[in-house]
Structure 1
Amino acid sequence: MESYVAGIRRVFLLAFCIAGIWSAYIYQGVLQETVSTKQFGPDEKRFEHLAFLNLAQNVVCLIWSFIMIKLWSNGESGSAPWWSFWRAGASNTVGPAMGIEALKYISYPGQVLAKSSKMIPVMVMGTLVYGTRYTFPEYVCTLLVAGGVSIFALSKPSSKSISKLAHPNPGLGYGLCVLNLISDGFTNSNQDAIKASYPETTAWDMMLGMNLWGTIYNVVFMFLRPQASGYEAVKFCRQHPEVAWDILLYCLCGAVGQNFIFLTITRFGSLTNTTITTTRKFVSIVVSSLLSGNPLSTKQWGSVLMVFSGLACHIYFKWRKSQRMQKSM
């Protein structure tokens, strides 16, 4: 009876995590698309300073992680010192900035699809640099993802989608997404190195260190360099309070979403978290198409299904591999 009750609780906890991740990041995606494409006020001006969203989120997540550490930390030593995050913080600042800047040039569904193909550079680098051998099904999954993204990128978008973009330029937009993926690869490898050197580092410590350096870098970029646009961004928010409210909600969604991701990883593992976040991206594309006025053609829907079929197969093979490793132990 006790095991049955524990199983029911685990199912409800998983459903809670799924609902939290989906609601936080799907709504954040809607807000991101709104801020990047909407024309605000009677003068119908666009918010061109999209890098400001990264600075705002860094600040909110920095405060959030500091509060969580004070509330839940047990005072154990051995976590990574704040200065050790400077490399990961740098790549984590450049990557999201490239990704969000891409929304000036390509649609939100295109950006999400391109960023979903993270497995491609990982496998290419693994094969060329480290000599890693992958199975035939894994290569098939990668080809599905690469083919789907390519077909989507080469498909002619609807005139309505183009009219919402500030500066339509698919080549530049998808190029920025590639840089985003490369930066994410550096970020992940640096985070792994930090975790290996300081095993006692918690997710909150990682979140605090990353966002501390992200705040420093973005403040320099937005306010202290020549021709800095931070002051223009603040001025725009004062003149158009609606965009300031959207930015605040965007940041809170990111902080809440990170909480649910941390809970999912600690209770159910990274594979479950990957599955939830991958399906969330697919739902984000559907929501954007239905609610935000980004109609997709039949060919584009086919490419979306290709990408997420490849990702689903990739997750399945990872699950099978983990099952075999557990049985052999």
Structure 2
Amino acid sequence: MEAHGVGLRQLSVLLFCVTGIWSAYIYQGVLQETVSTKRFGADQKRFEHLAFLNLAQNVVCLVWSFIMIKLWSRSSSGGAPWWSYWSAGITNTIGPTMGIEALKYISYPAQVLAKSSKMIPVMLMGTLVYGIRYTIPEYVCTLLVAGGVSSFALLKTSSKTISKLARPNAPLGYGLCFLNLAFDGFTNATQDSISARYPKTSAWDIMFGMNLWGTIYNMVYMFGWPHGSGFEAVQFCKQHPEAAWDIFLFCLCGAVGQNFIFLTISQFGSLTNTTITTTRKFVSIVVSSLLSGNPLSAKQWGSVSMVFSGLSYQIYLKWKRGQRLQKKRKPM
């Protein structure tokens, strides 16, 4: 009975994590698409300063992580010093900015698909730079994802979707997404290196350090000169309170979503978190398609299915690898 109770508790926590991640990030995706495509107020103006979203989210997540450290952090020493995140903070500022800016040139579903193909630059760098040899199934995963993203990019986008974009330009939009992935790769590698050097570093410490530097860099970028676009963004929000509210909710969703991601990783591991976040991206595309009133074509859905088939297969391969490692570690 006790084991059964533990199982039910674990299942309840898992469902809680899934609900939290899906709710926070799906709604954040809706808000991101709204802010990037909507015309606000009687003057029907677009919010052109999308990089401001990163600054706003940095500030909200910085405050959130500081509160969490004061409330929940058990270790007062041994964690990574705040200055150690300066290099990862640069790439974590530039990368997401490019991803958000891409929404001026491509649709939200296209951006989600492009950013789902993180394994492509990782494997290319691994093969060309480090001489890593991958297995045939891993190449199959990559080909499925690359083929799906490429075919989606080549398919004609509806005129209704194009009319919502600020400056339609598919090559530039996809290029920004792939640069976003490249910078993310450096960010993740640097974070792993910091965690290895300072094992007592908590998830909240990482969140605080990254968002502290992100806030500094974005403040310099947005307000570093008299005519910085940050001043225009703030003025726009004053004139259009609806946009300011959407931006605040966007940031809040990011902070809440990170809480659930940390909880999932601590309770169930990174593989479970990857599975949840991957399925969330697929649902985000479905939700975007339904809310926009402009459903994807059958061929576009075929491309989406290719991408997520590749991602699902990759998750399965990681699970199998984990199972084999567990068997090897078991005492004879």
Whole-Å Cα distance in 2 between the matches of residues 293 and 177 of structure 1? 25
Partner of 2:328: 328
- The alpha carbon displacement at 1:228 in A equals 1.0
Whole-Å Cα distance in 2 between the matches of residues 90 and 297 of structure 1? 38
Runs of 4+ off more than 4 Å: none
Given that 2:102 and 2:172 are in contact with CA atoms closer than 8 Å, whether structure 1 keeps it comes out as: yes
Partner of 2:114: 114
Partner of 2:246: 246
Unpaired stretches in structure 1, ≥5 consecutive residues: none
Matches within 5 A, 1:82-231: 82-225=82-225, 227-231=227-231
Provide Cα deviations, 1:268-320, integer angstroms capped at 9, x if missing partner: 00000000000000000000000123421111110000000000000000100
Matches within 5 A, 1:246-285: 246-285=246-285
Partner of 1:293: 293
Unpaired stretches in structure 2, ≥5 consecutive residues: none
- Give the counterpart letter for 2:259 in structure 1: N
- Give the counterpart letter for 1:2 in structure 2: E
Moved more, 126-135 or 313-322: 126-135
Residue aligned with 1:192, SS: helix
Provide Cα deviations, 1:199-237, integer angstroms capped at 9, x if missing partner: 110000000000000000000000013641000000000
Given that 1:57 and 1:254 are in contact with CA atoms closer than 8 Å, whether structure 2 keeps it comes out as: yes
Matched, 1:57 2:57: yes
Residue aligned with 2:166, SS: coil
Partner of 1:314: 314
- Give the counterpart letter for 1:301 in structure 2: W
- The alpha carbon displacement at 1:104 in A equals 0.2
Moved more, 58-67 or 286-295: 286-295
Whole-Å Cα distance in 2 between the matches of residues 175 and 97 of structure 1? 13
- Give the counterpart letter for 1:225 in structure 2: W
Partner of 2:72: 72
Whole-Å Cα distance in 2 between the matches of residues 73 and 27 of structure 1? 29
Given that 1:102 and 1:173 are in contact with CA atoms closer than 8 Å, whether structure 2 keeps it comes out as: yes
Moved more, 294-303 or 213-222: 294-303
Given that 2:40 and 2:240 are in contact with CA atoms closer than 8 Å, whether structure 1 keeps it comes out as: yes
Given that 2:98 and 2:180 are in contact with CA atoms closer than 8 Å, whether structure 1 keeps it comes out as: yes
Whole-Å Cα distance in 2 between the matches of residues 317 and 75 of structure 1? 36
Whole-Å Cα distance in 2 between the matches of residues 158 and 117 of structure 1? 23
Partner of 1:28: 28
Whole-Å Cα distance in 2 between the matches of residues 75 and 320 of structure 1? 35
Given that 2:75 and 2:200 are in contact with CA atoms closer than 8 Å, whether structure 1 keeps it comes out as: no
TM norm structure 2: 0.98
- Give the counterpart letter for 1:58 in structure 2: N
Given that 1:35 and 1:243 are in contact with CA atoms closer than 8 Å, whether structure 2 keeps it comes out as: yes
Provide Cα deviations, 1:256-279, integer angstroms capped at 9, x if missing partner: 000000000000000000000000
Partner of 2:305: 305
Partner of 1:237: 237
- Give the counterpart letter for 2:214 in structure 1: G
Residue aligned with 1:16, SS: helix
The share of aligned pairs that are identical, in percent, is 77
Residue aligned with 1:277, SS: helix
Whole-Å Cα distance in 1 between the matches of residues 139 and 250 of structure 2? 36
Residue aligned with 2:283, SS: helix
Whole-Å Cα distance in 1 between the matches of residues 95 and 124 of structure 2? 19
Given that 1:62 and 1:211 are in contact with CA atoms closer than 8 Å, whether structure 2 keeps it comes out as: yes
Whole-Å Cα distance in 2 between the matches of residues 47 and 236 of structure 1? 7
Whole-Å Cα distance in 2 between the matches of residues 309 and 260 of structure 1? 25
Q: How many residues align?
A: 329
Whole-Å Cα distance in 2 between the matches of residues 180 and 76 of structure 1? 34
Given that 1:160 and 1:293 are in contact with CA atoms closer than 8 Å, whether structure 2 keeps it comes out as: no
Whole-Å Cα distance in 2 between the matches of residues 52 and 90 of structure 1? 16
Given that 1:56 and 1:251 are in contact with CA atoms closer than 8 Å, whether structure 2 keeps it comes out as: yes
Whole-Å Cα distance in 2 between the matches of residues 293 and 104 of structure 1? 19
- Give the counterpart letter for 1:207 in structure 2: M
